[in-house]
Structure 1
């Protein structure tokens, strides 16, 4: 019975499969259409639509991919051989699926691009190798960092290609920079804050230095290729005290002799708050043989604390957190050092490190730097 049901469904299945191929073809998804029609012929070797459409879909796929190949051959893109190879790989997949099914092979004779693909791997490796070699010979640090990328791409195409590995290591040495960091602060900042920031940014950068193959950061008293001067200013602009209120309510138990009842009690609580806002700027200047680079970060830090709760109404409505805030202690504004250490320094160091390591990081070849 089950066999009979499948036999009845087969024509419907074949029809839907062919329609799927036509939909893909009409969407210009020619490679997928080739696969759909080839599989259709495998299931139904006499299907007229698949007989008609498979050659058309294959020719359309070839026209698209070979058109792209011609465009890449005319370009000066250093990745052109990889891109040509990617196009031919898609045609090779079409070749494989057609050759896999006898009925499809009887309709179309696909072209084998395997030799062309193999030759492109060699051409790509050679191109990147020669580009890297030319860059490395200039003696310019930024070119050496670019050369590292070219040698690495050559090795991606062919492992152990010629002496690309040794030249890639040489590019790291020739492209390496040592940057000395010094930190200064405006009169609005205390000296301790400047020292705190200097130590913080150095330790943060040094902890991430493994991410950068081309740069090391040292203190200002050490020999270096470049000097980085970091200046920052900080002003505490506004001290604002305010009060806000919240309503509280709770169901509490009341006992009168032998009678127990529950009543709802309410209170209005008042919180005092102190809000401090600041304004600051961090500017770093990197002096290099290639020229000077400047970057600036503006920041508006905010410090806010709540203290001294008072209330009106029934004390039983207060929460445990409310009780903890019931104190006569006042709250003074933070001094600049405390404000800086608790609020500002973390975000500033993070911004500076992200920017620096973005320029000299593991996957950044330092173009122009």
Structure 2
């Protein structure tokens, strides 16, 4: 037990010596903030540590000189956003204040300066700078400037919540910078089938709305805004399914022989009267029927500017889907069948889905590709 306590004491002493040395090392490296933290941490454990009591004031003064110098340098610049840099330096110094105040021994040798009021003032000035930039941008009246103004007002509110009327101006900037994209009815051009692609459009618009691919782009279903005199689209997206074709049902039939060696009780018995197991080969013929129906089509989409009717993007997205049904029967010994063969035996002959269902399956890969294309396109805005 005494041996364990001796080792424990040596370990604690080693940690304390390392902590002290690490504080000195940080100080000698010019990492004054970290040195202050190390010395205060040491004094929280050993309030009478001579090295920490001696070097802490020097480390604190050096850290303060560094941050105050950077704050003065920022204030002397012509940068509109200089108060944000000043705020960061004030917060670093306030952090040192809080650290030193947490240890009575540290507070006894250093009287740290409280920068809480200075931080509040810097935040007000920083918010005002962002606010003024936003006002100037908003006065330009164009979409791009309005989007930049939105960012400025948003930054002002992050610096100082509820600053002046920044929230109202941010909402106004958003409304001006917004691009409203109206998705038209989707036409399905096929010489054989007549139906609409409303389900596809519903899913597409819903996904584009929830993806939030761009803060300043919103998608609307034309059916939802029809008759709304206040709604004015900026862009119009037209979509047509071209050459939607459902092929003939293709039937493939084949057979294969299967066999398996199994153990069964024989006619002979052992000394206990139990039948001796013997290996036999069981055989069967599996008859497999596979029915397939291939469907394919191309989605042609075009995005135009409502004001000048200029085509902004146009592309075609191909897609295909193959329906498949497979089932089987067998003749012979069922024990020869594999697990896969048994699954085939569980299948049944069913008719292909109607063209509308095949069309919806066909649109799934097209939908994913189109959504990805639109995200890439509108990320440029």
Which residue in the other structure is 1:229 paired with?
238
Task: Say whether 1:316 aligns with 2:324.
Answer: no
Secondary structure in 2 aligned to 1:192?
coil
Q: Per-residue deviation at 1:326? A: 3.4
Alignment match of 1:325 (pick from 332, 344, 366) = 344
Distance 1:255 1:135, change over 3 A: farther
Which residue in the other structure is 1:363 paired with?
none
Q: Per-residue deviation at 1:180? A: 2.4
Q: Per-residue deviation at 1:98? A: 2.7
Which one is further off, 226-235 or 247-256?
A: 247-256
TM-score when scaled to structure 2?
0.66
Q: Per-residue deviation at 1:121? A: 0.9
Which residue in the other structure is 1:341 paired with?
360
Distance 1:271 1:140, change over 3 A: farther
Higher relative contact order (CA 8 A, sep 6+): 1
Larger radius of gyration: 2
Give, in whole Å, the separation in 1 of the partners of 2:263 and 2:349.
Answer: 32
Gapped regions of structure 1 (runs ≥ 5) = 361-365
Which one is further off, 308-317 or 159-168?
A: 308-317
Task: Say whether 1:287 aligns with 2:305.
Answer: yes
| Residues 199-214 of structure 1 aligned to structure 2 (within 5 Å) | 199-202=202-205, 204-205=207-208
Which one is further off, 223-232 or 47-56?
A: 47-56
Which residue in the other structure is 1:120 paired with?
122
Give, in whole Å, the separation in 1 of the partners of 2:280 and 2:54.
Answer: 84
Alignment match of 2:91 (pick from 89, 92, 96) = 89
Please report the RMSD computed on the Cα atoms of aligned residues, expressed in angstroms: 5.3
Task: Say whether 1:197 aligns with 2:200.
Answer: yes
Which one is further off, 159-168 or 351-360?
A: 351-360
Which one is further off, 100-109 or 265-274?
A: 265-274
Distance 1:251 1:334, change over 3 A: same
| Residues 214-225 of structure 1 aligned to structure 2 (within 5 Å) | 215=218, 217-219=220-222, 224-225=232-233
Distance 1:57 1:158, change over 3 A: closer
Check conservation: 1:20, 1:36, Cα contact below 8 A.
Answer: yes
TM-score when scaled to structure 1?
0.68
Distance 1:13 1:179, change over 3 A: closer
Residue-pair matches, total: 360
| Residues 1-369 of structure 1 aligned to structure 2 (within 5 Å) | 10-21=12-23, 31-44=33-46, 45-48=48-51, 51-52=54-55, 55-56=58-59, 59=62, 63=66, 67=70, 70=73, 74=77, 81-105=83-107, 110-182=112-184, 183-184=186-187, 192=195, 194-202=197-205, 204-205=207-208, 215=218, 217-219=220-222, 224-226=232-234, 227-233=236-242, 259=275, 261=277, 274=292, 276=294, 280=298, 283-289=301-307, 292-294=311-313, 296=315, 298=317, 301-303=320-322, 305-309=324-328, 314-318=333-337, 322-326=341-345, 337-342=356-361, 344-350=362-368, 352=370, 369=381
